[in-house]
Amino acid sequence: MAITTQNDLETDLQFGPPGFARVVFRGCMNVNSVGGSWKKLEEGLRAIKVEKLEVDASELQLCDGSGLSLLRYVGMGLMTPEAAVSVRGMDPDLEQVYRAFTLEDYQALRPSSAVKCRSIPDDVGRGVRQAASDWREQIEFLGEVTRNFLPTLWSRRQTRWPEVGRVFEQAGADAVPIVSLVSILVGLVIAFESVQTLAYFGAQIYVVNMIGIIMVRELGPLLAAVLLAGRSGSAFAAELGTMKVNEELDALETFGLDPIRFLVIQRIVAAILLTPLLTFYSTFLGILGGVLVAFALGFSRSLVYHQLTASLHLSDIFLGLAKALAFGAIVSAVGCLRGLQTQEGPSAVGVSTTRAVVASIVLIVVADAVFAVLFYYLKK
Amino acid sequence: MNDQLDIVISVRNVKVGYGGKAVLHNISFEVTSGEVFVILGGSGSGKSTLLKNLIGLCTPMAGEIWIEGINLATAEGEERRDLLRKFGVAYQSGALFGSMTVLENVRLPMDELTSMPGPLKEMQALAILKLVGLGTSAQKMPAELSGGMQKRAAIARAMALSPRILFLDEPSAGLDPVTAADLDLLIKEVARRFGITFVVVSHDLASIYTIADRVIMLDSRTKTVAVEGRPAELRDTATDPQVRRFFRREADADASRLHL
């Protein structure tokens, strides 16, 4: 069995008296040679009806696992379902291995080819149950965070301020370059595109009013929150998810430390503190982008300043601030919740981060709409 | 089973390490066909680093590794692919693909690398799974298996292409003694029946006495091979105190090291 010469496999198919066939394998049966042999046997045996098949393995020089599989396949009669098959001439060592896997084993272990039919009620039920349990978990999480929020902040010992600082730096300070780039570009592009329409009415100067309102009330908070979700909401989910997979959360609980108090509140606090700052920064740069367009059109600095201050009210700025606080809470809480919900398995952390980002962005947009309606009625 | 003692792996004056820092140097040994060769060493002695070099994931900093007469570091293209197909590796954690069933895991190398007909692939995968005792778990996902079963599945996958050499990284790590003993039997049986050469990285003494034909022990202080030989002989004849302690499973007598 240990001869390593790489000569080819010869498959000699002989037909004797009617209904009788004989296969002689000669040479080297390995991964590379079984394919050709298989083809030859299949074509040769399909053509005629065989009642008795004899397999002669006495001239095999080498037979590896794949060769053994071919011998078994033919030997078990799977190629000639109606024939009585006998295999002879195997090397005793090979024969011992050959006998270890029989037709009964093959039939018992084969995956059933029956396609499982999915039932729609089953799927619907499963979906509803999952949605319900997800809702339940979200409500529980919300309740637990609310219950623990103030007590954790009150007690000096439980809020780990260095950790808050770390999150603040990673999610806030480190995000400044990307927030700058995105905000200024969005400001520029919006101003540039709308100026072309305003020009029909000779009202180009109002681009400044427009960009001021749109940035302060809508896009500033939205851009900051979306970037926070992509950069940090996902990071929260990944961090907590990895901790869950590594049983670090279990370790915390056995110390009597509540993961909500120990890990989640810190992140939410940091996010709530940093989103207003990030929002102001994003708003400022967005307006700057619009103002640059106004300057390019030849408007004077004093005119632009006048238009901007005239169009913005304090209430607009408060609305932006309120949105920023809400968005920060949403992004951080959703990120942490998805992290804590991480399941077992190699792709679980990836799934959690995706869910965190998607849910954050959806909730941000929904909350934005709620704010718009609320503000409209409050103003009346 | 094999009368001729041909050399399958030849390691010559090899120095291995990471990022310019040598972990082991002056390593030389030969593995002959059909034997179970164990690389032994305490934690941090560089066993796994050496294994990474043996299977071609890293290139040695100095020296040469020859497998089946081919220099692993300089082999390229078709030659390297052929060489890589001659050996299978079962990783410490199993490294089974989590999105596929056990059967699909075992079939994967055959699907991707050979032109075997489908029914033969299935036949072979099932036969190997039965051999390692996982026949009835063929349809399960890796996450549903216990640690010992995952290791056996990893061995089954490594055997899929009928390799001449199987590398096993810490096969008994994290297993209970009974499961570990079962795994030892499996290794012994596969080596005997199929004439596969095994290179096993381990620190498990109990299993060494069962499976190993020959052992080298790596020393983390001198960073090279401390001893080479048959395990039972080493236990009785070793003169180096650290080797003796290891083989007799004694703690370091100097308790002051514990900083109690």
Tens digit of each residue's pLDDT (9 = 90 or more) over B16-25: 888 778 888 8
According to the model, what pLDDT value does residue A211 have?
A: 93
Suggest the residue from B32, B107, B123, B144 to mutate for an interface test with chain A (most A CBs closer than 10 A): B123
According to the model, what pLDDT value does residue B248 have?
A: 73
Mean pLDDT estimate for chain A:
87
pLDDT at A182 over 90: yes
Worst-scoring range by mean pLDDT, A42-56, A188-202, A290-304, A363-377?
A42-56
A226/A357 Cα distance (integer angstroms): 9
Contacts 24+ apart (CB under 8 A), A301-308: A303/A205, A304/A208, A307/A205, A307/A206, A307/A208, A307/A209, A307/A212, A308/A208, A308/A209, A308/A212
Which pair of structure tokens corresponds to residue B16?
């291995």
A328/A193 Cα distance (integer angstroms): 30
Contact A111 B120 (CB under 8 A): no
Contact B127 A68 (CB under 8 A): yes
Mean pLDDT estimate for chain B:
82
Tens digits of residue pLDDT in B176-193: 888 788 888 888 888 887
Residue in this structure with the two tokens 């069962």, named with its chain if needed: B210
Residues of A within 8 A of B120 (CB-CB) are 34, 38, 66, 69-70, 73
Of A329, A353, A333, A334, nearest to A343 by C-alpha is A353
Chain B residue nearest residue A71, CA to CA: B120
Distance from CA of A348 to the nearest CA of B (A): 11
Chain B residue nearest residue A103, CA to CA: B123
Instruction: Give the CB-side neighbour count of residue B157, counting CA atoms within 13 A.
Output: 28
End-to-end CA distance of chain A: 92
pLDDT at A60 over 70: yes
pLDDT at A142 over 60: yes
A207/A194 Cα distance (integer angstroms): 7
B33 touches chain A (CB under 8 A): yes
Tens digits of residue pLDDT in A24-39: 888 888 888 888 888 8
Distance from CA of A104 to the nearest CA of B (A): 12
Tens digits of residue pLDDT in B75-110: 888 888 888 888 888 888 778 888 888 888 998 888
The rounded radius of gyration (Å) of the Cα atoms in chain A is: 36
B169/B199 Cα distance (integer angstroms): 9
Residue A290 per-residue DSSP state: H
User: Closest to B126 (Cβ–Cβ): which among A78, A97, A109?
Assistant: A109
Residues of B within 8 A of A37 (CB-CB) are none
Instruction: Give the CB-side neighbour count of residue A207, counting CA atoms within 13 A.
Output: 31
Residues of A within 8 A of B32 (CB-CB) are none
According to the model, what pLDDT value does residue B151 have?
A: 85
Contact A96 B2 (CB under 8 A): no
Tens digits of residue pLDDT in A85-101: 888 888 887 888 888 88
Residue in this structure with the two tokens 């100026």, named with its chain if needed: A195
Tens digits of residue pLDDT in A266-305: 899 999 999 999 999 999 999 999 999 999 999 999 999 9
B128 touches chain A (CB under 8 A): yes
A61/B194 Cα distance (integer angstroms): 15
Q: Could you tell me which residues come within 8 angstroms of residue B127 by beta carbon, excluding any fewer than 6 positions away?
A: A65, A68, A69, A72, A100, A101, A105
Q: Could you tell me which residues come within 8 angstroms of residue A227 by beta carbon, excluding any fewer than 6 positions away?
A: A175, A178, A179, A182, A278, A282
pTM here? Answer: 0.70
Residues of B within 8 A of A108 (CB-CB) are 135
Q: Which residues, listed in sequence order, are joined to residue A376 by a DSSP beta bridge?
A: none
Residues of A within 8 A of B122 (CB-CB) are 110
Most confidently predicted of A38-42, A121-125, B182-186, B237-241: A121-125
pLDDT band, very low/low/confident/very high, at A5 (cuts 50, 70, 90): very low
Of A373, A268, A239, A370, nearest to A328 by C-alpha is A268
According to the model, what pLDDT value does residue A268 have?
A: 93
